Amino acid sequence: MSEPVTVYVPRDATAKALGAERIAAAISAEAARRNLAVRIVRNGSRGLFWLEPLVEVVTATGRIGYGPVQAGDVTALFDAGFLGGQPHALRLGPVEDIPELKRQERLTFARCGVVDPLDLADYRAHGGLRGLANALALSPDAIVRTLTESGLRGRGGAAFPAGIKWKTAQAAQADQKYIVCNADEGDSGTFADRMLLEGDPFALIEGMIIAGLAVGATMGYVYIRSEYPDAWRIFSAALAAARAGGLLGDDVLGSGRRFHLEARLGAGAYICGEETSLLESLEGKRGMVRFKPPLPAIKGLFGKPTVINNLVTLATVPAILDHGAAWYAGYGMGRSRGTLPIQLAGNVRRGGLIEKAFGVTLRALIEDFGGGTRSGRPVRTAQVGGPLGAYIPPSQFDIPLDYEAYAAIKGMVGHGGVVVFDDSVDMARQARFAMEFCAIESCGKCTPCRIGSTRGVEVIDRMLAGVERDRNEALLRDLCDTMVSGSLCALGGMAPFPVLSALDHYPEDFRRPATGKAT
Amino acid sequence: MKESRARTAPPHGGVVPALPPEQGAVVREVIVRLQQQPGALLPILHAVQDAVGYVPDGAVGPIAHALNLSRAEVHGVLSFYHWFRREPPGRHVLHLCRAEACQALGATALEEHARRALGTDFHGTSADGAVTLEPVYCLGNCACGPSLLLDGELHARVTPQRFDALIAEARKA
């Protein structure tokens, strides 16, 4: 047999859910039947989910894509000569030239879907570990300065400057410090953390090692949600590969520097995405929000100085250390520097991951990238920033995605999730769900969140039942005000945003003829 | 299937339900393997649930003892997290996504369908003991919903018809 042809079949959770395992098996079986040498690599996803399962074949002219492939297509693909990149109805051409991918700025996701996520040599061949090599030659101060100058802000949602957080932890004196990665990606409409865990896990590991070098931490934890079983399995395997490859341990790549890393599994509590609650959970306790101060950077995990960052933040660090602060800061607008991995989700034709410099508009995302709704009906709203984010009406679709611009319209960019709804959506039901979700997920520590969310559901139910609508609307707004001002963390403090945006932009949905009794 | 045993805590000085020998062995093995790691409680609870299918009340005492915690503290953690179960599930566990991105694609109707098809509400098990229905808030499959996890396996673009096919397949297995 000749040199094997390399075929990429993603092992990403969404690709698997759409049949990627069966396709990998079918390609393998068909190749054996035809006595053809094929090497199947299980990559992550490119994030073009409407094309998944997206099979890529390595040819003399680059990687040629075919998708979405179903197991029944495999024989026909072989007949058509797809191993040579030949024409077929599913042929997409060179993957890098697919318009929705070509128009992106992939900095954090440069390798996702490209490399074998568990092959350290492949990671290195695609620019991996260059940031770490640079960091090992720099002083801790210089690493923190690079991060600060890049303008990188926390991608979990709070958008706090990462450099300042690191500086605070660096200045703290302690016998032990920790780096914690928040991979408790609970926001509906988001999957960026999951994609990196499954598609480029070494980038996170490298970023956490660099964070350790910067602040003097030798131990790290990655807190992954239990709802991500595939991400957990792949990241656990990546950890083992990193240890075996000398990337983690007492002597990181022969530098004499120490960094150990462990993964921990969450247990289905949305609140554990809040950083202090996550630390409590890592300590083996109920995920109750802590009062701040003290900041985690001063007194965090097990009472020690701790850098806790979102996964995307940490996975962006290696690229910044590789290419420099100015390179990263050269993207974006205003105080929102760099790129945002936007996750286009919900009722949209072409959903997926779109990494773009800050400043792109919802209209461009939903219409140009997304191609409108999957149902074919008109777009009525998009919820941006997860379950605590505002519902944005089409009249605001031209506002650039930027932390400050969104704050100005009482919205938030958050972790970059955009959930599209068509005109069949009932905004009063969505408002009710926001309160219901807050009631289910509240940790219970502060009263406005614990009690307010339940009262919120009741008030909305009364409005929907047609009971004293004006009085109840005033009461709901008053309740929202109390929650916003009086809650300890963002759960109770922001759950009113979707409620108020629904009330402000879609008042007619709260004033339909009552259909049932108040529950 | 509901356990017939009362769920109330034993009265002061009362007897904590003892674990059947095979469960006791699992719990002891898990404790010995994991108790030394910092913040060991969640990893221990996960390992017990993975092995037994749920965390039996009788496991609380030994875990508390090993970690130098009170039973109330262990109970508090166990009952805080939605992922942990304190009763045996059906033969299959189905986590159905209820969150916004799936709602935008018809998850609310699918939820109604699931309740009817299984004859149970969330946190319950179908009468034949085949499937336990749990709500979940986001599986990270938000561009291809509605989504569900069946025994830890993710399924995308689940229509009511697809749901029925999955359940029929599971019931046969």
pLDDT of residue B173: 79
B114 pLDDT higher than 60: yes
pLDDT of residue A514: 78
Closest residue in chain B to residue A438, using alpha carbons only: B137
Same-domain pairing of B78 and B152: no
Please list the pLDDT of chain A residue by residue as tens digits (519 residues).
578 999 999 999 999 999 999 999 999 999 999 999 999 999 999 999 999 999 999 999 999 999 999 999 999 999 999 999 999 999 999 999 999 999 999 999 999 999 999 999 999 999 999 999 999 999 999 999 999 999 999 999 999 999 999 999 999 999 999 999 999 999 999 999 999 999 999 999 999 999 999 999 999 999 999 999 999 999 999 999 999 999 999 999 999 999 999 999 999 999 999 999 999 999 999 999 999 999 999 999 999 999 999 999 999 999 999 999 999 999 999 999 999 999 999 999 999 999 999 999 999 999 999 999 999 999 999 999 999 999 999 999 999 999 999 999 999 999 999 999 999 999 999 999 999 999 999 999 999 999 999 999 999 999 999 999 999 999 999 999 999 999 999 999 999 999 999 999 999 999 988 765 544
Closest partner CB to B142 (pick from A231, A283, A343):
A343
| B82 in A contact zone (CB under 8 Å) | yes
Q: Which domain holds residue A316?
A: 120-329
**Among A281, A309, A329, where does a domain finish?**
A329
- Please give the interface size between A and B, counted as residue pairs whose CB atoms are below 8 Å apart: 158
Assigned token pair, A194: 């999951």
Q: Which domain holds residue B104?
A: 92-172
Closest C-alpha to A56, from A35, A37, A77, A76: A77
Chain A CB contacts of B154 below 8 Å? 13-14, 16-17, 229-230
**Amino acid letter for position A516:** G
Distances from the Cα of A55 to the Cα of A27, A64, A101, A110, angstroms:
10, 8, 15, 18
pLDDT of residue B14: 52
Whether the link from the prior residue into B89 is cis, omega within 30° of 0, is: no
Same-domain pairing of A340 and A448: no
Closest C-alpha to A160, from A282, A335, A321, A320: A335
Query: Are the CB atoms for A265 and A144 separated by under 8 Å?
Result: no
- Shortest Cα distance, chain A CAs vs residue B32, angstroms: 17
Distance CA A170, CA A305 (A): 8
CATH number of the domain residue B22 falls in: 1.10.10
Distance CA A316, CA A328 (A): 10
- Which residues fall within 8 angstroms of residue A517, CB to CB, at 6 or more apart? A465
Assigned token pair, A465: 């039942």
The reply to whether residue B43 touches residue A264, judged by beta carbons under 8 angstroms, is yes
Same-domain pairing of A265 and A216: yes
Closest partner CB to A191 (pick from B81, B100, B142):
B142
The reply to whether residue A17 touches residue B101, judged by beta carbons under 8 angstroms, is no
Distance CA A485, CA A436 (A): 19
Query: Are the CB atoms for A308 and A180 separated by under 8 Å?
Result: yes
The reply to whether residue A190 touches residue B138, judged by beta carbons under 8 angstroms, is yes
Same-domain pairing of B143 and B77: no
What is the count of structural domains for chain B?
A: 2
Same-domain pairing of B82 and B114: no
The reply to whether residue A269 touches residue B82, judged by beta carbons under 8 angstroms, is yes
| Residue of B146 and B3 predicted with greater confidence | B146
- Which residues fall within 8 angstroms of residue A393, CB to CB, at 6 or more apart? A380, A381, A505, A506
Question: Is residue A112 in a domain?
Answer: no
What is the count of structural domains for chain A?
A: 4
Closest residue in chain A to residue B140, using alpha carbons only: A191
Closest partner CB to B104 (pick from A18, A265, A347):
A347
Query: Are the CB atoms for A436 and A452 separated by under 8 Å?
Result: no
Distance CA A389, CA A385 (A): 5
| B122 in A contact zone (CB under 8 Å) | no
Assigned token pair, A416: 């970059």
